[in-house]
Amino acid sequence: MAVSGIRDLSVIETPPEDRQPVLTSVQPYDEGQVALAIRRELLRDGQVFYVHNQVDSIHRIAAGIAELVPGARVEVAHGQMDERQLERVMVRFWEREFDVLVCTTIIESGLDVPNANTLIIERADLLGLSQLHQLRGRVGRSSERGYAYFLFPEGATVTEPAYERLKTIAEHSRLGSGLAIAMRDLEIRGAGNVVGAEQSGHVAAVGFDMYSQLLKEEIGELTGEPVEQEVDIKVDLPVDAHLPHDYVEDATQRLELYQRISAVRDATGVRDVRSELEDRFGPLPEPADRLLTIAALKAALRRWGVTEVVLTPKGQLRIAPVALSDSQQVRLERRFPGHRLRKDQAVLTIPAPRPAPTDTVAWAAGVLREVFAGR
C-alpha cells in the first residue's frame, strides 16, 4: 500500500535513551543453562519471563522451575485463566511479589515490565518470527541489559523454516532491527495473496505501469484529490536518439534511465538527468544528448498543449493541435513561406528547408519556438 500511495511508510530507528540491545542466544535446551540464567537475573534483583506455550503442562513446568532454582518465587499465567485471577497475577508480578512468571505467548505484546530483563522460551522453533521478535521486546525495556534465550529440544530435528526463523532472530539483535526481521519473514513465508500469483492476473493483463496509473486514478477519485491526466506526446523525427550500449553497459540500468527520461516533465528534470548521466557515465555521446533534447522538447510541447510533432516523408513538419490568430499566421508566413494551417483539423505543416537541416531536432525545436513565441 505504501508503494501504491495508499499509505505512508515511516521507519522508527532511534531507540529510547539508555536503551541497550538484548543479548540473544539460540541454543538447545540445557537445564543447567536455564538455572544459571534465572539465578543471574535474581542476583541483580530482576525478574524472569519463562515462556512455555502449553497450558496443559504449564503448572508442571512451573513446579520444575521452582525445584531447579530453590528460593525463586514462581507463578503461572495463561489465557485460559479467569480474567480477574490473571489480572491479579500480572499486578503481583509488576509489584515484584514473585520472581519468575511461567506463561504462554499472551505476554508477546502490550507489556512493559522494566524490572523483567531475562526471557527464556521453550520450543522457540515452534513460534513464528514475529512472535519471537515481539517476545524479545518484553525484556530490556529500561537501562538494564536484557537477555533472551531461544531454546529448542536437544537432538531434535528442526525444520528448514524453523531454522531460518531462529537464525534470523539471532542475527538481528541490534536496536531498530524490526523492519529487517519483517522483510526476512516475508521472504521465508512468502507474500501471500496480496501480491502473490492469485492477485496478479489483472496486473499482467494491462502491464504494471498502466496498473499503477489506474490505481492512482482510483485512489484520487476516492480521496477527492485531482489526478493529472497523462497526455501522450508523439515526436517522430528521423534522428538517432538513444543511450549507446558502450555508454551504459548494463541493460537494467539502461531501462531504468529510459524510464527516468520518459518521466521528465520540465526543463529542471532534464537538467537533473543530464547531470546524473555525466556524473555516473561521463560526457554524453551525441545520441544520448539528442535523447535528452527530445525529452526537453516533449516537456515544452506538453506546456503548449501540442500532442504531435512529425516530420513527414515529404519533408514537412506536421504540428497538432495548433490554433493561431491572423497576426500570428502573417508572422509565420514571413518566417516560413509555404506553411499551411488546416483550421478544421488544427494541423500546421511547415516545409523543411533545402538542403535538409543537419540537426533535425534543433531545427524542429527552433520552428516550435517561433510558432509558440510568447506562450
**270: domain CATH number?**
3.90.1150.50
> Alpha helices, DSSP H only, in 190-310?
201-206, 208-223, 251-262, 267-281, 286-304
pLDDT tens digit string along 53-112? 999 999 999 999 999 999 999 999 999 999 999 999 999 999 999 999 999 999 988 788
Match 540445557 to its residue by C-alpha cell. 30
pLDDT band, residue 283 (cuts 50/70/90): very high
Residue 149 sits in a domain whose CATH number is 3.40.50.300
pLDDT at 4 over 70: no
29 and 172, same domain (yes or no): yes
Total number of domains constituting the chain: 2
Question: Residue 345 falls within a domain, yes or no?
Answer: yes
The answer to the question of residue 14 being in a domain is no
pTM over 0.75: no
Q: 151 and 32 in one domain? A: yes
Looking at 189, 220, 246, the residue that finishes a domain is 189
Tell whether 15 is covered by a domain. no
**Residues 305, 171: one domain?**
no
Q: Which of 149, 195, 176 is nearest to 13 (CA)?
A: 176
Counts for the chain of helices (H) and strands (E), in that order: 13, 11
Return the percentage of the chain with pLDDT > 90, whole number: 39
The three grid cell numbers given for residue 238, joined into one nine-digit string: 528521423
Task: State whether 123 and 179 are in the same domain.
Answer: yes
Asked, for residue 223, whether it belongs to a domain, the answer is no
Q: What gap in Å lies between CA 272 and CA 256, rounded to an integer?
A: 15
Residue 291 belongs to what domain range? 234-371
Tell me the pLDDT tens digit for each residue of 358-372.
Answer: 788 888 888 888 888
How far is it, in rounded angstroms, from Cα 343 to Cα 333? 16
Residues 46 and 144 in one domain: yes
Write out pLDDT tens, residues 160-205.
Answer: 889 999 999 998 888 878 878 887 887 777 666 655 555 555 566 6
Are both 51 and 157 inside the same structural domain?
Answer: yes
User: Does residue 89 sit within a domain?
Assistant: yes
Whether 229 maps to a domain, the answer reads no
For residue 356 the three cell numbers come to: 535538409
Among residues 174, 189, 204, which one ends one of the domains?
189
One domain for residues 119 and 39: yes
Residue 208 lies in a domain: no
